[in-house]
Amino acid sequence: AQSVTQPDIHITVSEGASLELRCNYSYGATPYLFWYVQSPGQGLQLLLKYFSGDTLVQGIKGFEAEFKRSQSSFNLRKPSVHWSDAAEYFCAVGPFGNEKLTFGTGTRLTIIP
């Protein structure tokens, strides 16, 4: 069975600081990995995805993520956060064809001035 762990429930960073959100997955075959962002009161928006190829993937809003098979991780990074990045972030894993996704429990990001 596939599973996703986001070990950090809540992270606070200063505006302009760098950010790394952790995601570890468990999946028996080649995983298809996603990061979604949810702003307060909104639905989920796709930030980036990894299907194959280059293990460093670029997404929207200046985010990137690196797939590390040996560590079963897909951590999300941003070099300099903006106040508008305050939101909840979800990592998800699915099989080829992506019929069903399994989501992590989310990491809430707070930005302080």
Partner 1 sequence: NAGVTQTPKFRVLKTGQSMTLLCAQDMNHEYMYWYRQDPGMGLRLIHYSVGEGTTAKGEVPDGYNVSRLKKQNFLLGLESAAPSQTSVYFCASKSGTRGKTYEQYFGPGTRLTVT
Task: For partner 1, give the closer residue by CB, 33 or 81.
Answer: 33
CB of 38 to partner 1, least distance (A): 9
Three-class secondary structure of residue 24 per DSSP:
strand
Task: Classify the C-alpha dihedral 79-44-13-33 as positive or negative.
Answer: negative
DSSP 17: S
Is 17 near partner 1 (CB under 8 A)?
no
Nearer to partner 1, 45 or 55 (CB): 45
**Which lies closer to partner 1 via its Cβ, residue 107 or residue 111?**
107
Closer residue to partner 1 (CB): 81 or 91 = 91
Site for partner 1 in 44-83 (CB under 8 A): 44-46, 49, 51
CA nearest 42: which of 84, 102, 71, 103? 84
Binding of partner 1 by 22 (CB under 8 A) = no
Q: Which of 87, 80, 90, 110 is nearest to 33 (CA)?
A: 90
Q: What's the angle, vertex CA 16, arms to CA 12 and CA 22, rounded to 5?
A: 45
- Give the residues lining the site for partner 1 (CB under 8 A): 9, 32, 34, 36, 41-46, 49, 51, 90, 94, 96-101, 103-106
